[in-house]
């Protein structure tokens, strides 16, 4: 890593929302999915820093300027009877790659998982993204080839829900 005094990691706060949105957009561009991004600063403020935060964000900083992020949330393993961390996004701006910042974010997240008594950290990666796959393998991660991710969203989600209302708190 570059001069370690130039690099730091910290939890994001509401004032970091513009940087978080920029990273989401840059990641979507890289993944050829920019057309799917509908996130706004307002929605990020509500969902990340509102009354019931849905996820947390840590920022990679070089000379106190955000250069990358990791967005994650807790999940739960019934087999382990323990929480886990699901890493939704990990992104370092291209001009700052190769400096060890992505590895530092993963190590920080692993330490956080251990501190929070989580049984694992997991994430998804696009099958074509060989640079990321190689990077993750180098970190000791392994693919869960026997599992297939399923998703229901948009119109299909509304149809599945039908007219059912929940009795949530």
Distance CA 92, CA 23 (A): 8
Catalytic residues: 136
Distance CA 102, CA 96 (A): 10
Distance CA 20, CA 122 (A): 21
Closest CA relative to residue 22, chosen from 81, 69, 80, 85: 69
**What b/e string do you get for 63-79 counting C-beta neighbours within 10 Å, with b at 16 or more?**
eeebbbbbbbeeeeeee
């Amino acid at each position: 890593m570059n001069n370690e005094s130039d690099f730091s990691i910290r939890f994001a706060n509401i004032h970091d929302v513009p940087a978080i949105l920029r990273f989401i957009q840059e990641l979507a561009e890289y993944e050829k999915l920019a057309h799917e991004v509908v996130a706004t600063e307002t929605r990020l403020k509500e969902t990340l820093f509102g009354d019931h935060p849905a996820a947390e964000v840590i920022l990679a900083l070089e000379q106190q300027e955000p250069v990358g992020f990791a967005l994650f949330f807790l999940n739960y393993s019934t087999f382990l009877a323990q929480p886990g961390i699901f890493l939704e996004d990990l992104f370092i701006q291209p001009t700052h790659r190769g400096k060890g910042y992505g590895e530092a974010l993963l190590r920080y997240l692993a330490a956080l998982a251990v501190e929070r008594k989580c049984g694992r950290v997991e994430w998804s990666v696009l099958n074509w993204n060989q640079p990321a796959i190689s990077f993750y393998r180098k970190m000791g991660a392994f693919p869960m080839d026997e599992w297939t991710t399923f998703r229901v969203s948009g119109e299909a989600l509304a149809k599945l829900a039908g007219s059912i209302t929940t009795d949530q708190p």
